[in-house]
Structure 1
Amino acid sequence: MIKKLSLIILNGWGLSSSWGGNAIAAANPGNFLKFWGQGLCMIIKPAQKKAGLYADEDGITLSEIYVGREVKRIKEIVDDVVGRRELGECLELKKSIENCKTNTSSLNLVTTIAENDEYSDPDNIKILLEILKVERIRNINIHLILEGETGAVSRKVETLANSINDFEEAQISSIQGNHYLSEIGSKNFQRSYSSIVLGTGEKALDAISVLSKNKNLPKLDDLEPHIICSGNQAIGKIFDFDSVLSLDYKRSNLNNFIRYLSAFEVGSKSYKPMGIKISTLTDYYYGAGPKDIGIIIDRDQINNSVLSLAEDAGLKNVEIFGSKNSWKHYYLSGFKKKNQSSGSCIVVANDGSEKTYDAKRWLNTYRDTVGDNINIITSYLSASDFSARTGSIKEDIESIKVVDKLLGEMVEINFQNNYQTIILADESGLESAGINSNPLPFIYLKDSESLNNDDSLIQRKITIEGLLRAKSSTYDIAPTICKIMDITKPDEMTGESLI
């Protein structure tokens, strides 16, 4: 018989020790509880500190589920290299330094300072400045992109500003909120470009005075671009033959910055392409800019994901998302081999509110997808998580009921078409409208005949003791899929099958 598997991922359905007082329990999802009682079920732990997070992204993806091992966050990789002072041995950094020496030009360091430590680290900036000081780089302009709660980010900027005082050749030249950099093609984006590259915009004496003037902003993401001036002149801007070094763990910021440095047009204005040497400390989204940008430290490469292994074995997979097209890059498509016909992506549009699904359209798409020519179907039901981020318990419950109804009908379709089923949560976001490290449910349904129909088990409680006993983790999902599909588990998968 052809091996077939349906992986159903419930976004935000992680468990809690307060089960019985949260949105999922309040919705009383009958199908989910029935499968929990009847199938092979267990509680697993999110392997990462925050469930579902990919190594360095601000969005939610499922890398650890698909590769069966730890995927290092980019900040962890940078911390390791910078902490050992090995950055000075990196070829791309040497090229940027030599460019400055040859052309007697400036080095422009663009970096995010964020409330979230996973996105930035002022200590690494200081270490980088120490390396540049040893190399006798004479003019270092630091451009700050701020993100997060005003008090926390301001304290980090103040600490950085004080440490920069030890480096007479370094100076903070511009400062702005993340939102200006993120609105590609807008007037705000043009203002961002002008402040960093052209040295024009709102003038200020120093970064601390800018923060003091804007202390009542809830978040510094909205801080308008400022240039730091001496007298009436900007102390730093980017010229031809300069080196630009981006130290950023958040690829969306870095991607946008690279785009406007290499662009002929920014917003409604056209600029000549600059003859500059661009290096990034970390990776960025290829396709956004020129391909000759130097990458100093490579990310932890995701090799041998379970979907790529399935494709190598001649198995076909399809991924179905329940959200807008603009969201689909957050999820699974990055973990298949590119340009192979065996994998495809279907996006089922929401009803416009991003809170509940067009259930009929979803089921029609799912029913049309199943069949002997499709071996693995991954369905990502994200509506409940989107509603959780609105903070409305009423919308949470409504969304959960819709998803639970879909879950029951999808499992029935699976049984009719000889698909084995795994039901899994990727994170817990339904109590606090955020991502946390709560344990996750795992349910395996081999077929309708394997279900345990003991009614007493259907009401099985999820207890605090059960949560604390969880030993398996999301690293074990990929090996489980390998076992179901008769795929040899590669050595780098450290997880073990759950069945």
Structure 2
Amino acid sequence: MSKRNTTALIILDGWGHREEADSNAILAAKTPNMDRMWASYPHALISGSGEDVGLPHGQMGNSEVGHMNLGAGRVVYQDLTRIAKAIRDGEFQQNPELVKSIDAAVANGKAVHLLGLLSPGGVHSHEDHINAMVEMAAARGAKEVYVHAFLDGRDMPPRSARPSLEKTDAVLHDLGVGRIASIIGRYYAMDRDKRWDRVELAWDLLTAGKGEYAAQTAAEGLDAAYARDENDEFVKPTIIVPHGGEPAYIRDGDSVIFMNFRADRARQLAGVIANKDFDGFALKQRPELASFVMLTRYADDIPAPSAFPPAELVNTLGEYMEKMQKTQLRIAETEKYAHVTFFFSGGREEPWTGEHRILVNSPKVATYDLQPEMSAPEVTDKLICAIESGQYDLIICNYANGDMVGHTGDFAAAVQAAECVDTCVGRVVEALQAAGGQCLITADHGNAEQMMDNSTGQAHTAHTCELVPLIYAGPRDLKLNDGVLSDIAPTLLTLMDLPQPEEMTGKSLIG
């Protein structure tokens, strides 16, 4: 079998580009190989955070999002950003599942119930989505819109629910269409460990108006909870009934829309609502709904539509290699193996035809500052064997050290990690050059270049929003332009002399 010309993508996880030397483990490290290549090889800077990777403005990147964008060759909008963008663009208001659900209730003079975590946390939900949903329901003629507010206190400070309740109250009041009908801590409504006694309390609140407490307004209910020393997360089920009013709970013929976008803590309650054969606890009542919609798909076994089903990523780099009848290798140690396989393939577990995988076990240590080199030397040995075999058209490799050791906050260990990775990259590039191959070296996000939080004086253990390097090592005489992570796959295709599929909207950075 004739040897293939190998093109490789070497991902230095957590290796950000920051020119300030203070608390910068990458600049403090002796990195002769990266220094030499940056000085004399084509290079550029790449954004791996915020809107450039489909996250909200100013949000640091992460490995899952980074590898998804690297492999997709297009910006992959995360649910939070995707829904916010749909609201901005007017698509949300035309969403077919949401429209159907509201219209079903309106046609029968019934209520629309919105359930969800009322919080600006942006982890499981966002209050802006709930408020936009209230406005949409009112615009479509709903006269009764009831918000059942799950309170946060976990992704937000423990007692921070008041502004969120006030904001939603104001939206409802201005539109004159309904009210906040109940409040309950996420501890009950968003359990994910099959503690059905908690979920049952939420169910009875939502479907029978049965709470441990009652209040005339959401603010009063919250004050009473704080007086009982319950933080937001643990607020006991409280029904909100204005003076002289009736409880507003889910009844036959109503529509229910669950406004969380993250699945793991919405799945159980959604399953109780949608699965007729649910038997986790005895249901005292089960309303016959006109409609139940999940904002995103929480689980395949919940028989209900979702307004924003997962985006199908067609022609990711891996799939396109299969179509082009090319061979590919994915290689990493345990900590980043899912990233070069599942996430790089756009959320697909199975290998593509012609795809091989090498998993190197990460060392069994309590924390990686105890072994900063991790399994990088072994990854390198196996990678060099693969290069020398001439079997692969494309190789995707991840070095985990910068990120995993950066997370420990140990500066000296992060320096050692960077030095180890530099040595490994030097060996890999040498092997590629000897085999007539070429590579791009980049990172998915920053970390080890900022090891101290200057505002607190504490160790900085999180990712950063810094740009990351991009270096070309190979025989071609070319120039690289700055770009974003989703431009890397199109750039690799240019290097491999392959056309770019239309689904990839990133651009090749070869000038």
Counterparts of residues 467-486 of structure 1 (less than 5 Å) = 471-486=482-497
SS of the aligned residue for 1:144 comes to: strand
1:7–1:377: 8 Å Cα contact kept in structure 2? yes
1:390–1:433: 8 Å Cα contact kept in structure 2? yes
Say which of 197, 207, 224 aligns to 2:203. 197
Query: What's the CA shift for 1:442?
Result: 0.9
Q: Which residue of 2 aligns with 1:224?
A: 234
SS of the aligned residue for 2:37 comes to: helix
1:435-475 deviations in Å (ceiling 9; x for gaps): 4432211111116xx89xxxxxxxxxxxxxxxxx9844434
Cα distance in structure 2, aligned partners of 1:46 and 1:325: 17
Q: Which residue of 2 aligns with 1:13?
A: 15
| 1:387 aligned onto 2:399 | no
| 1:295 aligned onto 2:300 | no
Cα distance in structure 2, aligned partners of 1:340 and 1:124: 37
Cα distance in structure 1, aligned partners of 2:403 and 2:277: 37
Say which of 468, 490, 497 aligns to 2:501. 490
| 1:420 aligned onto 2:426 | no
Counterparts of residues 51-90 of structure 1 (less than 5 Å) = 59-83=64-88, 87=92, 89-90=94-95
Counterparts of residues 321-340 of structure 1 (less than 5 Å) = 321-324=332-335, 328=339, 331-334=343-346, 340=352
Q: Which residue of 2 aligns with 1:36?
A: 38
Q: Which residue of 1 aligns with 2:131?
A: 126
How many matched pairs?
470
Letter matched to residue 194 of structure 1:
E
| 1:404 aligned onto 2:422 | yes
Shift in CA distance, 108/417, structure 1 to aligned 2, threshold 3 Å: farther
Cα distance in structure 1, aligned partners of 2:356 and 2:251: 44
1:176-230 deviations in Å (ceiling 9; x for gaps): 34x777763353xx355334323277646465456557889xxx8x822532225
Shift in CA distance, 109/484, structure 1 to aligned 2, threshold 3 Å: same
| 1:91 aligned onto 2:105 | no
2:52–2:75: 8 Å Cα contact kept in structure 1? no
Letter matched to residue 447 of structure 2:
G
1:34-63 deviations in Å (ceiling 9; x for gaps): 433453323334474466859999853334
1:27–1:401: 8 Å Cα contact kept in structure 2? yes
Cα distance in structure 2, aligned partners of 1:270 and 1:410: 61
**What is the Cα-based RMSD across aligned positions, in Å?**
4.5
Query: What's the CA shift for 1:378?
Result: 1.3
Q: Which residue of 2 aligns with 1:317?
A: 328
Unaligned runs of 5+ in 2: 451-459
Query: What's the CA shift for 1:95?
Result: 3.2
1:262–1:274: 8 Å Cα contact kept in structure 2? no
Cα distance in structure 2, aligned partners of 1:376 and 1:114: 44
2:4–2:392: 8 Å Cα contact kept in structure 1? no
TM-score of the two chains, using structure 2 as the length reference: 0.74
1:111–1:246: 8 Å Cα contact kept in structure 2? yes
Cα distance in structure 2, aligned partners of 1:443 and 1:409: 15
1:372-402 deviations in Å (ceiling 9; x for gaps): 3332221222343233334332443343344
| 1:171 aligned onto 2:187 | no
Cα distance in structure 1, aligned partners of 2:197 and 2:9: 45
Shift in CA distance, 263/439, structure 1 to aligned 2, threshold 3 Å: same
Cα distance in structure 2, aligned partners of 1:384 and 1:334: 23
Cα distance in structure 2, aligned partners of 1:228 and 1:163: 21
1:49–1:437: 8 Å Cα contact kept in structure 2? no
Cα distance in structure 1, aligned partners of 2:75 and 2:362: 33
| 1:440 aligned onto 2:451 | no
SS of the aligned residue for 1:296 comes to: strand
Cα distance in structure 1, aligned partners of 2:45 and 2:337: 32
Shift in CA distance, 496/324, structure 1 to aligned 2, threshold 3 Å: closer
TM-score of the two chains, using structure 1 as the length reference: 0.75
Q: Which residue of 2 aligns with 1:144?
A: 150
Say which of 146, 150, 167 aligns to 1:159. 167
Shift in CA distance, 488/105, structure 1 to aligned 2, threshold 3 Å: same
2:118–2:149: 8 Å Cα contact kept in structure 1? no
